[in-house]
């Protein structure tokens, strides 16, 4: 059975869904939606109410609304509910955490001396400290001289660009034998080359599109990745490569095969041009045709018949010489 607060939320949810449906039909309901979100913001709800009514899904659809006021109000309400949910989860975790066990009483001086004596006075009986369980990337970085520098004194580097360098560093160091320092240098130089051509502050969409393209292809193409890290391919040239040039050899060959098949499918003379190949594949030996070419005197000809005139007239014969390509027709 739904709680009273949940029953209060459901009418707002229904009204919001109706307003969204009307907007999809071309009507403008931005003011109505903002009013409903504001009134819903004043309703006290719990996490159970949000789970039962699923009103969060309805509000979530409005985060990408064309009206910035609607999108901002939806994001603000969702953030409020998220903080409330996190607070409830934190409270439950604290309530379920068992109280720490009381510490044992301090040993007497005689017992301490006896323990030291039993260990030979060297403390060998003390447990060894647990090894640091840092991530593999951090361990690799420490082995090669510390955490890599992705900024290198560059001033005015916005957090978004630094995030791009961190992702590229992860890609360049994903191989087992990858060098952390070379990977960090490649990440810095490639991102700087992208920013040089597609300025982040002026061409954000173009910058982001190029970053996505390079990240996708560098993950798949190990040879391209190695060329960039080893310096065989300059970062400024990498940024200017096309999608075909960034692809792996297998993918490039597959695309070439698809293009060739499309070209062949649009040819009207494909069967004649590939007649010998098809005959060889089927094990058919070329036989002499019924007609002799008047140009090269060869009898390697093929012919077809079509009704090009009235039904009481004989069919027109079209002949093609497979030796010289000469074509003629007769009735």
Give residue-wise pLDDT tens across range 11-44.
888 888 888 888 877 777 788 888 888 888 888 8
pLDDT (0 to 100) of residue 268: 72
Q: What are phi and psi of 121, to 5 degrees?
A: 70, 10
Q: Are 21 and 61 in contact (CB under 8 A)?
A: no
Q: Is the pLDDT of residue 317 over 90?
A: yes
pLDDT (0 to 100) of residue 124: 44
Give residue-wise pLDDT tens across range 126-166.
444 444 444 444 444 444 444 567 776 676 778 888 888 88
Strand order in the sheet with 316-321: 301-306, 316-321, 327-330
**pTM of the model as a whole:** 0.41
> Which domains are delineated in the chain?
4-87 (1.20.930.10), 174-250 (no CATH), 283-330 (2.20.25.10)
Q: Are 81 and 50 in contact (CB under 8 A)?
A: yes
Percent above pLDDT 90 for the chain = 5
pLDDT confidence of 179, banded at 50, 70, 90? confident
Q: Are 27 and 72 in contact (CB under 8 A)?
A: no
pLDDT (0 to 100) of residue 125: 45
Surface-to-core class of residue 49, CB atoms within 10 Å of its CB (0-12 exposed, 13-18 middle, 19+ buried): buried
Query: In a 3-state reduction of DSSP, which class is residue 232?
Result: coil
Q: Is the pLDDT of residue 93 over 60?
A: no
CB contact set of 183 (below 8 Å; sequence gap of 6+): 148, 169, 172, 173, 229
């Amino acid at each position: 059975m739904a709680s009273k607060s949940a029953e209060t939320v459901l009418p707002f949810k229904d009204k919001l869904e109706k307003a969204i449906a009307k907007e999809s039909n071309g009507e403008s309901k931005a003011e109505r939606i903002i009013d409903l979100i504001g009134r819903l913001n004043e309703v006290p709800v719990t996490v159970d109410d949000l789970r039962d009514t699923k009103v969060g899904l309805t509000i979530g659809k409005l985060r990408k609304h064309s009206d910035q006021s609607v999108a901002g109000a939806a994001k603000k309400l969702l953030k409020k509910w998220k903080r409330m949910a996190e607070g409830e989860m934190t409270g439950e975790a604290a309530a379920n955490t068992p109280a720490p066990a009381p510490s044992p009483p301090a040993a007497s001086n005689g017992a301490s001396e006896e323990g030291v004596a039993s260990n030979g006075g060297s403390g060998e009986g003390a447990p060894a400290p647990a090894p640091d369980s840092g991530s593999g990337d951090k361990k690799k970085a420490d082995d090669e001289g510390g955490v890599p520098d992705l900024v290198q004194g560059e001033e005015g580097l916005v957090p978004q660009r630094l995030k791009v360098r961190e992702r590229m560093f992860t890609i360049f160091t994903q191989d087992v034998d990858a060098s952390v320092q070379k990977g960090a240098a490649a990440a810095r130089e490639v991102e700087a080359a992208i920013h040089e051509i597609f300025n982040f502050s002026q061409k954000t969409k173009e910058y982001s599109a190029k970053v996505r393209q390079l990240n996708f292809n560098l993950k798949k193409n190990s040879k391209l990745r190695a060329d960039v890290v080893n310096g065989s391919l300059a970062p400024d040239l990498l940024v200017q490569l096309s999608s075909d040039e960034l692809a792996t050899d297998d993918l490039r060959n597959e695309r070439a095969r698809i293009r060739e098949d499309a070209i062949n499918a649009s040819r009207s003379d494909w069967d004649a041009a590939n007649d010998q190949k098809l005959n060889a594949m089927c094990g058919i030996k070329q036989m002499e045709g019924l007609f002799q070419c008047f140009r090269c005197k060869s009898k390697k000809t093929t012919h077809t018949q079509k009704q090009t005139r009235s039904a009481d007239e004989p069919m027109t014969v079209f002949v093609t010489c497979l030796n010289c390509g000469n074509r003629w027709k007769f009735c």
